Structure 1
């Protein structure tokens, strides 16, 4: 018998995270473009981020209809949160008077790069990267490199820079609960054996 899912957070009803998801206002608009392979992932942090921000939108796909329009909402300037040689640290963008549209590709590094390849208008956006971010709290996946964060952590960190001194730490409450729940489900011994090396 299939487990009943919460229609909002897509977690099993017995592990619903909706009570922990805030509704945070932000001057920055966040647009998450999620690769389809991430939609049913047990640790879908992009969905939690989009639910927790009043000024956020999540769209699933590999190519996106009307992307040019999505990337140019009136009154906003768009930037892509994605590392690369031409990426500037996000702190350089924090002093701009006009609000930002922060575009965040969501998927494995390979899938995120594919989204950029399939959507040249996306790849053409100015890129920003995080500098001095705290280590990831994502204790269930091995980070591909230093400074690698989950989508929700990257969005939180970016917003804290762009909208300082406002705190967006409440966005991480459902994420922390999700991680703790996964560790509890696998059992401490299994977690210690497989994830703490």
Structure 2
């Protein structure tokens, strides 16, 4: 018989994270485009971010037919949080028109799946592309980062919001994420974690 799950955070009821999820307001509107392969992932950090932010929405799919409407939010400047060629530092984007709130589009998936989302939704490629500062380190101790400075979705969103809305803080969003990581480590056992995941 399957374990009962919380309908909100989608975790097993005996590991529900809802009590740790904050309710934070932001000027920035966060639009998370999640690849379907991430939905049932045990560490679905994008969902935690969407639940903790009042001004955020999570869409799941590969092709987003209503993307033009999603991006045409009046009074917002859209940008795509995705590193690589042509990406400007997010701090530069934030400073260029600080009085206008950003619409921050965040593709959620592995690097390969996130690139696929961009390929299948060409409108995303027309957005100004922004990147976080180099040298950030992830607290995501259960996944080997594919690139130096790679963050989980919730960590990237927190970093981005703290740049866009400085000096406001959004690290309360990381509380359920850290509890999730600790729970996974406890479930596998400390010795197994050290052997398979701990960095030298």
Q: What is the TM-score with the length of structure 2 in the denominator?
A: 0.97
Structure 2: how far apart are the matches of 1:92 and 1:182?
37
Superposed, which structure 2 residues align to 1:28-107 within 5 Å? 28-95=28-95, 96=97, 97-107=99-109
SS at match of 2:80: strand
Structure 2: how far apart are the matches of 1:7 and 1:143?
30
Structure 1: how far apart are the matches of 2:120 and 2:53?
27
Residue-pair matches, total: 197
SS at match of 2:178: helix
Is the 1:29–1:100 Cα contact (8 Å) retained in structure 2? yes
> 1:45 deviation in Å?
0.1
1:113 is aligned, of 94, 104, 115, to 115
Structure 2: how far apart are the matches of 1:72 and 1:99?
13
- The 10-residue stretch of structure 1 (88-97 or 169-178) with the greater mean CA deviation from structure 2: 88-97
Deviations 1:155-176 (A, max 9, x none): 0000000000000010000000
Superposed, which structure 2 residues align to 1:148-163 within 5 Å? 148-163=150-165
SS at match of 2:106: strand
Structure 2: how far apart are the matches of 1:39 and 1:11?
12
Q: Are the structure 2 counterparts of residues 45 and 67 from structure 1 closer, same or farther at C-alpha, using a change threshold of 3 Å?
A: same
- The 10-residue stretch of structure 1 (127-136 or 38-47) with the greater mean CA deviation from structure 2: 127-136
Is the 1:133–1:157 Cα contact (8 Å) retained in structure 2? no
Deviations 1:31-71 (A, max 9, x none): 00000000000000000000000000000000012111101
Structure 1: how far apart are the matches of 2:121 and 2:87?
18
Deviations 1:78-99 (A, max 9, x none): 0000011100010002222110
Instruction: Compute the RMSD of aligned alpha carbons.
Output: 0.8
Structure 2: how far apart are the matches of 1:100 and 1:48?
20
Structure 2: how far apart are the matches of 1:132 and 1:109?
17
SS at match of 2:64: coil
Query: What are structure 2's unaligned runs of at least 5 residues?
Result: none
Is the 1:34–1:60 Cα contact (8 Å) retained in structure 2? yes
Question: Hey, which bits of structure 1, 4+ residues long, moved more than 3 A?
Answer: none
> 1:133 deviation in Å?
5.5
